[in-house]
Structure 1
């Protein structure tokens, strides 16, 4: 599994984890923000009026209201990215990563406005309702006509590529990491085996998604407001319990933006590149701005003007990232949990075995290991057999777990301390080892957020809030992404193959409940990039049409609603 994760990491590093991808994502948002004169600010209040149904018409076509479309899109974005994703960003990049998540969200508000508007404009009627998304505007508007009049169907190719990536991402984004985080959190909190949680929720998922978009929007419009209230109340209880740490936490977010985060507690520190890259990537995973997923949900909305639905989409990154992710970040920082070591069962993929002995109390040793972790320099990795007696490693090595020095490491096989050998290659434990490794280390993803919620007024009961919130967040995300994947399946193969897709989707949901967390997150990064790249290229090509569409909207609006104040 470690070797597989390394291969996936190389792929991720070449696309989603690369600097050019980050610049493409932020650059697109920045370009449209300037080009359209800061619509995320000018149109924000107007968007609130639209989502309330202020300008609806009785004859508007679609399968969902503005609010239902917003709730469905939000349920697709408000998930493990807000709980596990924020924790992973802070774990890898430190507090400064949160700043870059917020920057990504601010620019992403404009990106969502653009992608939803264009997708809604070119939606189509299909057998079971309205179908839309970036693949439709690509198919209709991105073909190239030569001077001789020959049509080169580049739009068909880009649309097909996007649809294939959407199906892959429905598993990598909306399915696998969602149930994996749910199952791990439930196991940590209640001790329920992961496969049991997966089996129960897989049955519930099948019951919802087999009912189509109308059942999906009815479920999501009820889940989203409830889960937001429960989660935010729990989060605020931690933040105010640690009120003296609120201001220092805010300073930490903004203080190390251009330098990276210094070492603190068990956290070894992160440079600017790690904070920037992980913050932007986790921001994208959280709000999906530019990924092209939310436009699929918004295309089903009852609206006669695509621009109005685009305005509704402006609210998504604001709610998802600027509000919810910021609050999660403050929970992690104010509680101090992000830099504390906790005893836990350490996953093999989180372990690196160094060939020499390094002392965390020695600043030179700590600096050396830190530089190795941020890829500034390298140290020798251990290869060979680890000799273990009564659970204790006898070799002169250093075990790094979850980017921190592991402490009090004990090796078990079943309920007993293990004596024997463990095969290690280039610092990685062989995937076929049948031992369990217990020790104190930093945590990441959902388990980190879970322990942070215990540091508030609710004490140890705080973990139940995370578990319940995670179940609702992640389950609703899986519901929405099944719809996205279904629309992509319709685009590629027709409506009769949707049932095949849904069966595979539910089966994958179950299997992922007991799979390796780290590999799933890496896979999610890859599939996100495969959707985002063609979508960003597409909306950039159509920038002039977007501006014209917005201008025409305001002209028509002023004629139809002459007494209404507008942001224009």
Structure 2
């Protein structure tokens, strides 16, 4: 069974999906006239502009909630895994995925506002399932249901619970010897207190934790890069050369061909910033704005912050420290080793702290994504049942060590992207029309 699901995972996350993900980004980049470059200053300015419009939370809170879900273990563990498997060149392909992914994320944010609706409790509901039904028509509802089912499965079994809880419990066990079972129950109690308060409660916590954790992590990685500043030119050479040629290295690193760098870099880049997966527009839909284009621009900055800034700093820290060539080191321990070259044991503990915050906020963000998918399928009456199951899944995280669940989670994560990308391409004329109209009005 494990072999079957591993093979299925390789098919789902194989070349066709990666080509579709990046291809959609390239198409939107061309049709929108390099919007992610030319309008990026305006996008950052909009984050801190006073909200004007109806919604549940501020535009900044919506971005913080989306970032809470995307800035997770992928930024620490995923980057290290990609560099170990594909060499420094994998970082270049992460940048490529993020660059075109910004156009995809813009389109998702725009459609989220344009086609959002209200549920029976008067709360905003939006995301791919709504822009599929309201934008493409009722005949496409099976596609929306497919997305919602995949979203719930990812929330319950994937990014939302087990993998994040496992990251927290294993890091605390390694650093302080605390029992994973106790940790997972404590996390479940804290999560329950927050998520039963709905999007208002989740966004308030995200608004406070996300900027704080991002700033601490950025300062720490800059210190590692600064300490190894002499190695920076060579590191950049390795990144650009390794993107197109075989990377040879001493020690345990046998060498990675360009194909490996491309595949690992793009896959991990998309996994980290979730551009094209359809998750972020669920949070974007709740923003207090009546301008779809403005929310699209704000959403776009999420990919820039997640990959262009945070993933880049992680990657450079690992490369300049030279730890990427150490035999037997991969994942979080590889990033910890890079930190410890500058900070020693306190550096390892600091990274553990960052990893805990990154993983915890991802749990909160995904609890909301799964809830909106659940509400789309079953209405508002049973939301408390969803929240209860979600909390139980979080509590189980410290008791389970099932490799199969990880692989199934990866599969359903990939399956979320398919209906969303179909919708983005089908609705691209509307995205382009809305964009042109907005900038013509605000010339």
Note closer, same or farther for the CA distance 1:521–1:240 as it changes in structure 2 (3 Å cut): farther
Does the Cα contact within 8 Å between 2:117 and 2:126 map onto a contact in 1?
yes
Does the Cα contact within 8 Å between 1:68 and 1:217 map onto a contact in 2?
yes
- Which SS does the other structure have where 1:495 is aligned? coil
Alignment map for 1:191-206 (pairs within 5 Å): 191-206=177-192
Note closer, same or farther for the CA distance 1:196–1:338 as it changes in structure 2 (3 Å cut): farther
Decide which of 144, 154, 164 is 1:159's aligned counterpart: 144
Distance 2:389 2:256 in 1: 39
Q: Deviations over 1:119-177 (max 9, x none)?
A: 2110001133101001001012223xxxxxxxxx4410111001111111223122221
Q: Deviations over 1:77-108 (max 9, x none)?
A: 00101011111111221111111111100101
Decide which of 221, 229, 234 is 1:243's aligned counterpart: 229
Does the Cα contact within 8 Å between 1:206 and 1:506 map onto a contact in 2?
yes
Decide which of 301, 310, 334 is 2:287's aligned counterpart: 301
Aligned to 1:30: 26
Task: State the Cα distance separating 1:268 from its structure 2 match.
Answer: 2.3
Aligned to 2:355: 470
Does the Cα contact within 8 Å between 2:115 and 2:135 map onto a contact in 1?
no
Aligned to 2:164: 178
Does the Cα contact within 8 Å between 1:287 and 1:320 map onto a contact in 2?
yes
Does the Cα contact within 8 Å between 2:242 and 2:261 map onto a contact in 1?
no
Question: Are positions 1:544 and 2:429 aligned together?
Answer: yes
Does the Cα contact within 8 Å between 1:178 and 1:478 map onto a contact in 2?
yes
Task: State the Cα distance separating 1:328 from its structure 2 match.
Answer: 0.4
Task: State the Cα distance separating 1:511 from its structure 2 match.
Answer: 2.2
Distance 2:333 2:173 in 1: 10
Extract unaligned runs of 5+ from structure 1: 144-152, 342-441, 559-565
Alignment map for 1:33-182 (pairs within 5 Å): 33-53=29-49, 56-57=51-52, 60-128=53-121, 129-143=123-137, 153-170=138-155, 171-182=157-168
Alignment map for 1:2-17 (pairs within 5 Å): 4=2, 6-16=3-13
Alignment map for 1:451-462 (pairs within 5 Å): 451-456=337-342, 458-462=343-347
- Which SS does the other structure have where 1:461 is aligned? helix
Decide which of 176, 192, 209 is 2:195's aligned counterpart: 209
Aligned to 1:381: none
Extract unaligned runs of 5+ from structure 2: none
Aligned to 1:446: 332
Distance 1:472 1:161 in 2: 31
Aligned to 1:281: 267
Note closer, same or farther for the CA distance 1:104–1:68 as it changes in structure 2 (3 Å cut): same
Decide which of 392, 403, 426 is 1:507's aligned counterpart: 392
Note closer, same or farther for the CA distance 1:193–1:337 as it changes in structure 2 (3 Å cut): farther
Q: Deviations over 1:385-418 (max 9, x none)?
A: xxxxxxxxxxxxxxxxxxxxxxxxxxxxxxxxxx
Distance 1:103 1:518 in 2: 30
Task: State the Cα distance separating 1:269 from its structure 2 match.
Answer: 2.1
Moved over 4 A (4+): 517-521
- Which SS does the other structure have where 2:340 is aligned? coil
Which deviates more, 206-215 or 543-552? 543-552
Task: State the Cα distance separating 1:302 from its structure 2 match.
Answer: 0.3
Distance 2:112 2:311 in 1: 27
Aligned to 2:245: 259
Aligned to 1:318: 304
TM-score (norm 1): 0.75
Q: Deviations over 1:511-537 (max 9, x none)?
A: 223544865553343122111111011
Note closer, same or farther for the CA distance 1:42–1:518 as it changes in structure 2 (3 Å cut): farther
Distance 2:154 2:91 in 1: 24
Note closer, same or farther for the CA distance 1:475–1:28 as it changes in structure 2 (3 Å cut): same
Does the Cα contact within 8 Å between 2:194 and 2:201 map onto a contact in 1?
yes
Task: State the Cα distance separating 1:234 from its structure 2 match.
Answer: 1.8
Distance 1:137 1:255 in 2: 41
Does the Cα contact within 8 Å between 1:33 and 1:39 map onto a contact in 2?
yes
CA RMSD of aligned residues (A): 1.6
Structure richer in strand, relative to its length = 1
Distance 2:385 2:84 in 1: 38
Does the Cα contact within 8 Å between 2:67 and 2:306 map onto a contact in 1?
yes
Q: Deviations over 1:225-284 (max 9, x none)?
A: 110111122222222222222222221111111224324321222222221111111111
- Which SS does the other structure have where 1:204 is aligned? helix
Does the Cα contact within 8 Å between 2:153 and 2:409 map onto a contact in 1?
no
Alignment map for 1:409-424 (pairs within 5 Å): none
